[in-house]
């Protein structure tokens, strides 16, 4: 785990992430400018660091309702405004990119940020990116597996000789610049199903799991499959951290949180997916066993620790800025999260795993 720079003596790493979604206000229909939204994402990262959080992530999308198409650029802007917080992609759509270029960009970010960059790499859940960059969806699986193989080799070897199907071969190629410590932490982004987790386990990659909604117990099957496969492949799972990502809305009063959050969550789903978020599924969020983090600080603490009992994960990050939520609400939540929730979680998980 040391190579992934997670210190278990400090307890679970906790942070925020944004997907850069850019949707209209659920009540007025108005939408902020792309310029304002981008500045807001950087400001949120600065607030996260000032509040003592550990990690800040920026997702990648290449379609309507999103503006985070250049994750390394946004993270570089954040690096210039911060000093300590880890900067991660959440996630880099490697299937539609060149692993060499990705590695160069994040190595550059790592140097600019004094060694704070990490790559969370995935296949992407929004398929428009494949058409945009000229890839065939029938190659969905093969594209990613080939490219992750190359990315990992770039991270472990000084000179690369490599050939594949979707990219020109490399012959004793050397990549510049090098990351600050010589290597970058690289994670595999995984959805709810075990297939990708199993592939991550087979090659000993740390897993970054999206557990957005539904029963938390469902995702335990994925975590268990990951660790079982990694063990069978000869890897020490104590050195392979697991991260969990979900959504959060925090208010001092639990019923107010439940009432206020739905319009933003529903707005996001309606504009991005064309369908509303089911109210019956949302009602299940009141349970400590549900993955959506909505409620009072004490409820959020109980939910996170319930998941920790299930997964034994080392990192937890949440998105709080979707649905065109006013920035003053985001500020309030960051402060409440950092002062009331985070200390309790760190204390409860300190020295574990």
CA-closest candidate to residue 95, choices 135, 154, 155, 153: 135
Per-residue pLDDT of the chain (353 residues; tens, 9 = 90+): 345 678 878 899 999 999 999 998 888 888 999 999 999 999 999 999 999 999 999 999 888 889 999 999 999 999 999 999 999 999 898 988 999 999 999 999 999 999 999 999 988 666 677 788 777 878 778 999 999 999 999 999 999 999 999 999 999 999 999 999 999 999 999 987 799 999 999 999 999 999 998 999 999 999 999 999 999 999 999 999 999 999 999 999 999 999 999 999 998 889 888 899 999 999 999 899 999 999 999 999 999 999 999 999 999 999 999 888 999 999 999 999 999 999 999 999 998 76
The domain total for the chain is 1
198-to-2, 191, 229 alpha-carbon distances in Å: 22, 12, 6
Helix (H) or strand (E) holding 190: strand 186-190
Q: DSSP class of residue 339?
A: I
d(CA 186, CA 269): 29
- The boundaries of the domain holding residue 246 are 2-349
Q: Is 18 left (phi over 0), alpha (psi -120 to 50) or beta?
A: beta
Helix (H) or strand (E) holding 140: helix 140-156
Residue 284: which CATH number?
3.20.20.30
User: In sequence order, what DSSP letters do the residues of 246-299 get, joined into one string?
Assistant: EEEEE-SSHHHHHHHHHHHHHHHHHHHHSSPPPHHHHHGGGSTTBSSEEE-HHH
d(CA 334, CA 250): 9
312-to-163, 214, 351 alpha-carbon distances in Å: 38, 19, 12
- Given a contact cutoff of 8 angstroms between Cβ atoms, the answer to whether 130 and 96 are in contact is yes
SS3 category, 349: helix
What pTM was estimated for this model as a whole? Answer: 0.95
């Amino acid at each position: 785990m040391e190579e992934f720079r997670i210190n278990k003596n400090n307890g679970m790493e906790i942070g925020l992430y944004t997907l850069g979604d850019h949707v209209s206000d659920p009540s007025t229909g108005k939408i902020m400018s792309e310029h304002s939204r981008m500045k807001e994402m950087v400001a949120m990262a600065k607030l996260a660091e000032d509040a003592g959080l550990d990690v800040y992530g920026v997702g990648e999308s290449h379609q309507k309702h999103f503006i985070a198409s250049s994750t390394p650029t946004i993270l570089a802007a954040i690096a210039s405004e911060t000093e300590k917080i880890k900067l991660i992609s959440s996630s880099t759509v490697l299937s539609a990119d060149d692993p060499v270029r990705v590695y160069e960009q994040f190595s550059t970010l790592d140097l600019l940020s004094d060694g704070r960059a990490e790559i969370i790499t995935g296949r992407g859940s929004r398929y428009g990116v494949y058409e945009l960059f000229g890839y065939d969806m029938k190659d969905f699986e093969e594209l990613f597996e080939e490219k992750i193989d190359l990315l990992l080799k770039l991270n472990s070897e000084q000179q690369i000789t490599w050939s594949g199907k979707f990219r020109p071969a490399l012959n004793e190629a050397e990549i510049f610049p090098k990351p600050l410590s010589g290597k970058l932490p690289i994670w595999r982004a995984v959805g709810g199903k075990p297939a990708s987790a199993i592939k991550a386990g087979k090659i000993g990659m740390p897993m970054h799991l999206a557990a957005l909604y539904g029963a938390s117990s469902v995702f335990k099957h994925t975590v268990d499959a990951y660790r079982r496969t990694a063990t069978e492949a000869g890897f020490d799972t104590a050195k392979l951290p697991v991260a969990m990502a979900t959504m959060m809305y925090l208010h001092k009063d639990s019923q107010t949180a439940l009432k206020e959050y739905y319009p933003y969550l529903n707005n996001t789903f309606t504009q991005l997916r064309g369908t509303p978020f089911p109210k019956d599924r949302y009602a299940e969020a009141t349970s400590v066993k549900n993955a959506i983090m909505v409620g009072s600080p004490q409820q959020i603490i109980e939910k996170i620790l319930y998941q920790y009992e299930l997964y034994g994960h080392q990192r937890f990050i949440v998105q709080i800025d979707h649905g065109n939520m006013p920035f003053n609400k985001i500020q309030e939540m960051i402060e409440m999260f950092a002062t009331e929730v985070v200390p309790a979680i760190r204390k409860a998980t300190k020295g574990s795993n």
